[in-house]
Amino acid sequence: MSTYLEEYKRKLISPEKAAQLVESGDTIEYGMFATKPIDFDYALGQRAGDGLERVMVRGTGTVLPVPEVIKNDPEQKSFQYFSWYFTAIDRKAGDFGLACHCPFNYHEATLLAYSPDFSHAWADVWVAQVSPMDPSGCFNFGLGNSHNRGIALNSRIAIVEVNQNMPRCLGGSDEFIHISEIDYIIEGSNRPIFSVPSAPEPNEAEQKIANYIVDEIPDGACLQLGIGTLPNLIGNLIADSDLKDLGIQSEMFCDAMVQMYEKNKITNNMKASNRHKSAYSFCLGSQETYDFLHENPRCASMAVFDVNSPSAIAANDNSISINNTLEIDLFSQVCSESYGLRQISGTGGQLDFVEGSFHSKGGKSFLAFTSTFQDKNGNRHSRIRPLLTQGAIVTVPRTVVQYVVSEYGKANLKSLSVWARAEALINLAHPDFRDELVEAAKEMKIWSRTNRKSF
């Protein structure tokens, strides 16, 4: 340990001196989600306008505080900010032209980070918050394993920002970086780790959707729950159900999974790999969830490829994938990441799990949505549309979609014709919009005289 302590002291650097290492034209990669650096970002943001030009800063799922490289450089004279997955912060910055999305399928992030074939995407400087060094000289990536290690190893300069509050999340795979593999250490200001505010109470429509999906989950299922109110609601319903011997293989570890553990629903006994452990790649949740993950050997923090690759998902029997979507058209094309041209989130792992779950023996993927939404003026719109909103991104192609669920029911679209898909979707729409959807389907020549609506 004394050897590591000496090396630790040699590599210590202040945030200000670390920020001075950045050169014009550099690509800077921030740690994913809650591992985004705080002190380094503040110091780098102070360099706006000091001669730095064309510095590309990339994040993944940006959380508070708002990055200083955005706040301090609204004219983008020094920095341009990019995000692999948009959050509310990224959306707002994007509205002002201060953030740009980098599209990818989430499981591919590990490949992009490691493969020389994609060296054009490697970072010059990588910085992430980590937990304190352990006796073996390792820094744990905590709540954001994702693709941190691969990016760090292939950067010109690798810097860790130590935060005493970062949970140590056991592996798994790729959950650490050794002191010999980094260039500098920042001892951070130990700000509390970002935690997600309590979710709003689910409405009646969300309750109905959740019940439709929980009815389809068998004992021994291996679960993936996406981001948002609905997946957490489903997790809480599972916790109060009679289901047993469930497993977890999910890119995100969410609050509801703690409830499932406390109700003895999760054993991971039936999984093909990482048996007896819940596999995940990052966590965004409450402090209670972070405390649960800290040094918990029943959970395995893993590189995102190991969790999200469709083949790894399909290896588990009864893989159940549950995700939200924003809109779907009558051809069953799904948009889960944009409102027209406005980027809302990203593809993330949704397509990974839709594909992987379908190829799992007994597996099912569910794309869930409330049938309507209100715009800022209070006008109601159908999420089921004749065609996707102009500019909307196809997140899940129609050939891949399996189950879709609204408060009006569920439908398995696999193997259905174009006519049958249109009929199934119209029957999931709010009754107030069904007649106009039928008329649109007729004009589009995807409605036959044998089609019908259910009432």
CA distance 214 to 231: 11
CB 133 within 8 A of CB 179: yes
Mean pLDDT, the chain, as a whole number?
A: 96
Tell me the CATH class for 2-187.
Answer: alpha beta
pLDDT band at 2; cut points 50, 70, 90: low
pTM of this structure: 0.96
Q: Is residue 404 over pLDDT 90?
A: yes
Distance CA(181)–CA(193), nearest Å, equals 24
Structure token pair of residue 160: 């860790």
Catalytic residues, which ones? 251
177-203: average pLDDT: 94
How far apart CA 294 and CA 287 sit, in angstroms, is: 11
Q: What is the pLDDT of residue 449?
A: 83
Report, in this order, helix, strand and coil percent for the chain, each rounded to 5: 30, 25, 45
Contact, 274 vs 171, CB < 8 A? no
Question: SS3 of 422, please?
Answer: helix
Domains 2-187 and 204-443 share a fold: yes
The mean pLDDT value for 197-212 works out to 91
Quick one: pLDDT at residue 327? 98
**What local confidence, expressed as pLDDT, does residue 455 receive?**
47
Alpha helices (runs of H) in 309-430, residue ranges in sequence order: 310-314, 350-359, 418-426
* Residue partners of 273: CB distance under 8 A and separation at least 6: 279, 312, 315, 316
- 60-100 confidence digits (pLDDT tens): 999 999 999 999 999 999 999 999 999 999 999 999 999 99
The domain segmentation of the chain, as residue ranges, is 2-187, 204-443
- CATH homologous superfamily, domain 204-443: Acetyl-CoA hydrolase/transferase C-terminal domain (3.40.1080.20)
Residue 371 has pLDDT above 60, yes or no: yes
Distances 130 to 35, 85, 127, 152 between C-alpha atoms, Å: 7, 20, 9, 12
